Structure 1
Amino acid sequence: MTSDFVQINDWPIWYDKYGTGPQPLLMIPGGIGTGQTDFYEQLEGDDILDFDQLTIIAVEPPGYGRSRPPNRRYDSNVYDTDAECCYQLMKHLGFDTFHVIGWSDGARSAITLVCKYPEAVTKLVVTNIFAFADNKTLSVLKSNQTVDRWHQDRVKCYLRSYKDTVEIQRMWDRQIRFMEHMRTYLPNDPNEEKYKSIKCPVLVIQGDKDHITSAEHSEYIMKRVSTAELHRFANGSHDLHQRYSATFKKVVEDFLLHGILSQPTRKREYKYIPHKSIK
């Protein structure tokens, strides 16, 4: 693994690079996350992805981890900023086309990247995507807002990238405040008319026991992206890629490297979820 940063639009964008394979893969973490906090099992754990087939760039999005100062700018352009920085990073590293994996809030940044630069992304995986702001998601997040109440394993994950729990709490409080006001910043989905531009294969992974981003979030994407296929983890919660890392590895590598979809669930009629009606 090697680490470095690139100055992009006033941001010091840090990344970790793993593997030497012919297929480049960008990994985008969730809220306040980094590769070390969110994708440790895929990058350094027991179920690492195939470094002989993949060259993996684990980005630290603007305002997360080492990619600061400045602090993250929570505004109507936050996901577009993530997408632009990620695209410019990959271009700087010499990758004109690449795969993308995004988790949770990072999955929304990932799909924004594809909407913005559809020609650059060859395959996309979104895991437990945070597709819209809703009261159910916000309620669960706020109930876990105090870091002192987190499970010690979760705290250890974030301490890989942050100096102490005080810093983690400060970062997480800002993330929650953005979620609280997200419908003010983004009353409409800025990608609404762009989903039809997505032509690359898309794998939507959803945990059936995810209490943070329920199946409605995945259905929202499935209804709008014609190339999307769905893979469900029956016992998976929001962190299914961490808890079921061996299965996640197989599903993702089958899709990215071999073009195989493991038990996809695509052809059912999803109820259309208008963005403005989400409460």
Structure 2
Amino acid sequence: MTLNVDLSYGTVFVHFAGTRCSVRKIPDFVRAYDSFTKSVSHTPYTVYAPTRNSQFILGLDGADNALILCCVEFSCLFLQKLRGIVFSPLTRTAGEIRVSGKLINYEKVGSGDHVVLCLPGALGTIKSDFGPQLKSLPGEQLQLVAWDPPGYGKSRPPNRDFNFDSLHVDATLAATMMKNLGYKKYSLLGWSDGGITAMLLAAGFPQHVHKMVIFGANAYITKEETEICKDLRDVDNWSPKMRAPLEAIYGRDYFKKAWETWVDTYVGIYYDRGGDICKKDLANIVCPTLIVHGVQDPVVPIEHPYYLHENIKGSELILMEKGKHNLHLRHSEEFNALVLKFLTNEKATV
């Protein structure tokens, strides 16, 4: 039995008889499970309670010994103690690396042989854009590598240089970063602008890309989208809930200025380049590709996933009926299941 623990994200992965079960941390075990008070209240164990899909309630003590407190299948009866089991912390590394003169913040989670590079969206960062994925996807099969793109998050200073070729530059820098980190082959997981970066990387460096998952992405900009962007330009009109995560990262004044510059650059692509972001690059994508899109996405119209599907050879398209632009955050369990199936060679279906 192998117990992989990532306490920073509050998740434990249990590998038992070849099956991975996920359990979540419960801060106050006694209140949640009164029937176990006599059994565990005087033990030094940190206790974890099961999600609906798990089979065990677990405890972990300070000496890295594990206790199976009960088995859900048997009406939560006390099952057995196991001491001296293999305790394997879920490998997690945060660091900085200089790439083409830019200092890039990155994070690695998991130790699987299949490496996946996570690419955030506009002004996005590792944790703001991929928290649920870093929490649940890494394990025995997958290792996730995520970055703060140049000029975003902790990959500052300098601040972001917004121009029509920013995402092309990101694609080259991301490929160089992965090479410098020692990865020769990896898959891509890209959201929104990060999805565009993923497509450019897959097209420009096909020898390094195993598979690709993109969501909320587009290869061109329409007149309709320029109007959507103009409506979103003034962050003072956003709800506090929408602003808060990015203001916490950048501060109110810089976030406002950076977002306005991003909008102006994005709209400028429509007027200066006919809206073409990476249409010509799609024919050069040869890796297996999964396109996921929210039917209710208010930012990227529904025509875009169909266009990508038609122009990326052999791609799969899955539409999430209740999904919006942030479908991987709002519906992370369903989304993560799709990604895991696709990356581990099972057909991704809903």
Q: Please confirm whether the aligned pair reaches a TM-score higher than 0.5, indicating the same fold.
A: yes
| Cross-structure match for 2:182 | 94
After TM superposition, give the deviation of residue 236 of structure 1 in Å.
0.8
**Residue 291 of structure 2 corresponds to residue 212 of structure 1:** no
Higher mean C-alpha displacement, 191-200 vs 231-240: 191-200
Q: How far off is 1:211 after superposition?
A: 1.4
Which structure has the larger Rg? 2
Deviation per residue, 1:119-164 (Å, 9 max, x gap): 11101001010321222222223322333333333334324533x2
Distance 1:175 1:76, change over 3 A: closer
1:37–1:159: structure 2 CA closer, same or farther, 3 Å change rule? farther
Contact 1:41 1:245 in 2 (8 A): yes
| CA–CA separation in structure 2 for the residues paired with 1:104 and 1:224 | 18
Corresponding position of 2:330: 243
Instruction: Kindly provide the CA deviation profile for residues 162-207 of structure 1, in whole angstroms up to 9, marking residues without a partner as x.
Output: 3x22222122111111112113554474744442332211000011
| Distance of 1:144 and 1:192 partners within structure 2 | 25
Match of 1:115 in 2: 203
| Number of the residue aligned with 2:219 | 131
Match of 1:25 among 96, 116, 134: 116
- Give the number of the structure with larger relative contact order, counting CA–CA contacts within 8 Å between residues 6 or more apart: 1
Please list the CA deviations of residues 32-63 of structure 1 after superposition, one character each: whole Å capped at 9, or x if unmatched. Answer: 1111111122224xxx2133322111111111
Task: Give the secondary structure class of the aligned counterpart of 1:3.
Answer: strand
Contact 2:219 2:277 (C-alpha < 8 Å) held by counterparts:
no
Q: Distance in 2 between matches of 1:165 and 1:43?
A: 27
Q: Return the letter of the residue paired with 1:221.
A: L
**CA separation of 1:29/1:107 partners in 2, compared to 1, >3 Å: closer, same or farther?**
same
The alignment status of 1:12 with 2:103, answered yes or no, reads yes
2:141 equivalent in structure 1: 53
Give the TM-score taking structure 1 as reference length.
Answer: 0.86
Q: Runs of 5+ in structure 2 lacking a partner?
A: 1-91
TM-score normalised according to structure 2 size: 0.69
Counterpart contact for 1:136–1:212, Cα < 8 Å: no
Q: 1:188 to 1:172 in 2, by over 3 A?
A: closer
1:161-240 equivalences under 5 Å are 161-162=249-250, 164-187=251-274, 189=276, 191-240=278-327
Report whether the alignment pairs 1:106 with 2:197: no
Mark the runs of 5 or more structure 1 residues left unpaired by the alignment.
Answer: 264-279
State the distance in 1 between where 2:217 and 2:164 align: 18
Question: Secondary structure in 2 aligned to 1:258?
Answer: coil
Q: Give the RMSD, CA atoms, in angstroms.
A: 1.9
Offset of 1:259 from its aligned partner?
A: 2.9
Q: Secondary structure at the match of 1:102?
A: strand
Identity of aligned residues (%): 29
Note the C-alpha offset of 1:108: 0.6
Paired residues of 1:131 and 1:218 also in contact (CA < 8 A): no
The number of aligned residues is: 259
